[in-house]
Structures are given as C-alpha cells and as structure tokens.
Amino acid sequence: MQQLTPNVYAETEIRGCNPSIVFTSEGSVFIDTAQWITPLLEMRAFARERGPIRYLINTESHIDHIFGNHWFAGESIVIGHENLKKTFWKIPPAFNQTTYDYSVDVIRNQDPEGLKYMPEEKDYIINMPQVTFSERMTLKLGDHTFELYYAPGHSDANIIIYVPEEKVAFVGDTIFKDCQIWLHSAMPDELFKTLDFLNTLDVKYIVPGHGPVCGKEAIYENKQLLYDWFSAVSDGIAKGWSKEECVKKISFADRCPVDIGQADAMDYIQEHNVMVAYDYVMNKLGK
C-alpha cells in the first residue's frame, strides 16, 4: 500500500478500485474494498493490528468497489449513499454471468491464492450499507472528520469523502487517472458539476477510483477527456453518422490502457462510451 500521510494509506496497484484506509485515534475507516481477496485480507489484517475497523464507506455500488464488503459483515458499520441499494451487487447484462460467478472468475484467473477464501454463493453476505444519506453527512471518529458529499456523475450513487485533517479526498470513479474512463452509467452534466465541486476542496491528495494517487490536475485532465469524447461524437453526428456508425468509427483505445486486470474490457468501454456520448449530444441538440 502507498502511504500518503501518517494516517492514510491507499492501494492503487490491484484490479478494480483503489481501496484505502484512514487511521484515527479511535479505530480505522476503510474506503471501498478490494476486488481481489488476497490483498483485501492483507489490508484488513494490517488495519486490525492498529485497532478496530470502525467503518467501511462505499463510494459507489459497482462491483469492484463493494465486492469485499462480505469480509466486513458484522464487524464494521457500512456507509453509503441511499441510491446504492438500486444497483448493489449487480453487473452489466452484457457480462452474461451472475454477479457471484463473475466474481469467482475474477478471483480464479487473477487472484488464485484467494480462491480458497471465496465462500459458496449461499454463504456470501451481500453487505449493503446500514447507514445511508442523501446529500451530505459528517462522520467524526477520534481526531478526524469525514465529510461525505453526494457526487453524482459516474453513476447516481457516487460520493466523495473529504478528510480535511489530512487534505485527502477519496473520489471513487469521479476521477480516472492515466487509464480508460468508464461512461457506461454516466450522467455527464452531473459529472461536470461534481468535478467543479471537487475543485473547491482544499486537498493535497486525490485518491481516484482507478489509477495512481494524484492532485487537482486530474480534474482538468478528466474534463478534457470528457470534452474530447463529446466532441468526437458531435463531429460524427455532424457527418450524418448513426449511433451504430459512431460506435464503429470512434475509439479512444489508443489514448491509455484500461486499469489493471481489465484489458479485456477495452471494446466494451469504447462501445458504451460512444453510446452514452451519442445520447447526450443528441439530447442537447433536442433530437
């Protein structure tokens, strides 16, 4: 794990999201959970050496952020946005698997040492948040403050967790750094607003949903990438291309790789990013 401050750690070199830990004088707070079991259990053991794990906060409902919640059931209070319940433990239909089978395949292929820790489906605990909020929530633990903000855009359940004492913001998939951005569930107008809000926070470190820890420069990079997607699709529409033609002819696959362990999702990302951008642009045009 990467140590950002004396009390904050983030893991950015595994498949899926960037699970993180904040240590306080009264226990630790996890931000999201790993999609690989072996590092998940290592992180959990690391935290428990320093005291109880008091809370787990999910930044969103996508499987790479919530898969490991099972291992915190009955130990830590889970917190998330109220919209999480709508899409919790669900994956896109295009994956053609149940969520459980998909997760087992990920572990079998990418974290084989962790397969022995995977419970049978009947024993897997879908550990949804016990505490939810709508717009904003403040959590105080020991000498730390956790400001939770509803931050829709990547999906309708995203939040930002800001810890002012550490000048760190955990932003989930609001930010992708040096890797492909996923727009499959995005609400573009809300995402731009959330990025503008993120820019108002006094932060030194931004822990993105994917990619290395960064600073505020990533806000502008993500905005530019969004503009580029919409511009490319707008140009296609101006040429008379249909949605299907835009999907065939527009790709940003050469821009950057997909995040760790997800290279096989490149075609899915390009296709769905174009479809979302197409619908967004056509809506703005009133068509």
pLDDT tens for each residue of 210-248 = 999 999 999 999 999 999 999 999 999 999 999 999 999
**CA–CA separation, 146 vs 161, rounded Å?**
6
Q: Tell me the pLDDT band of 206, cut-offs 50, 70 and 90.
A: very high
In the chain, CATH 3.60.15.10 covers 2-217
pLDDT of amino acid 43: 98
Report the pLDDT averaged over residues 13-37.
97
**Tens-place pLDDT, residues 149-204:** 999 999 999 999 999 999 999 999 999 999 999 999 999 999 999 999 999 999 99
How far apart (Å, rounded) are the C-alpha atoms in residues 125 and 107? 17
pTM over 0.75: yes
- CB under 8 Å to 169, separation ≥6 — which residues? 160, 161, 162, 163, 198, 201, 203, 205, 206, 207
Question: Is residue 287 over pLDDT 90?
Answer: no
Written as six digits, the tokens of 48 are 């428990």
Residue 86 pLDDT exceeds 90:
yes
Concatenated DSSP letters of 170-210? EEEEEEE-SSPPP-TT--HHHHHHHHHHHTTS--SEEEEEE
Tell me which of 92-101, 116-125, 154-163, 209-218 is least confident. Answer: 92-101
Torsion over CA: 180, 186, 188, 189 (sign): negative
CATH number of 2-217: 3.60.15.10
From CA 220, how far away is CA 85, in angstroms rounded? Answer: 31
What pLDDT score was predicted for residue 286? 85
Distances (CA, A) of 286 to 42, 192, 197, 247: 51, 20, 27, 21
Rg (CA), the chain: 19
Find the mean pLDDT for residues 11-38: 97
Report pLDDT for 93: 87
- Residue 91: name the closest of 209, 184, 14, 191 by CA: 184
Contacts for 139-143 with beta carbons within 8 Å, 24 or more apart?
139/29, 139/55, 139/79, 141/24, 141/26, 141/27, 141/29, 141/54, 141/55, 142/24, 142/25, 142/26, 142/27, 143/24, 143/25
Q: Would you say 285 and 233 are in contact if contact means Cβ atoms under 8 Å apart?
A: no
What percent of the chain is modeled with pLDDT above 70?
A: 100
Which pLDDT band, with edges at 50, 70 and 90, does 26 fall under?
A: very high
Q: Per 3-state DSSP, what percentage of the chain is helix, strand, and coil (rounded to 5)? A: 40, 25, 40
The overall average pLDDT reported for the chain is 97
Q: Which residue has the tokens 């096989």?
A: 264
Phi–psi pair at 133, nearest 5 degrees: -145, 170
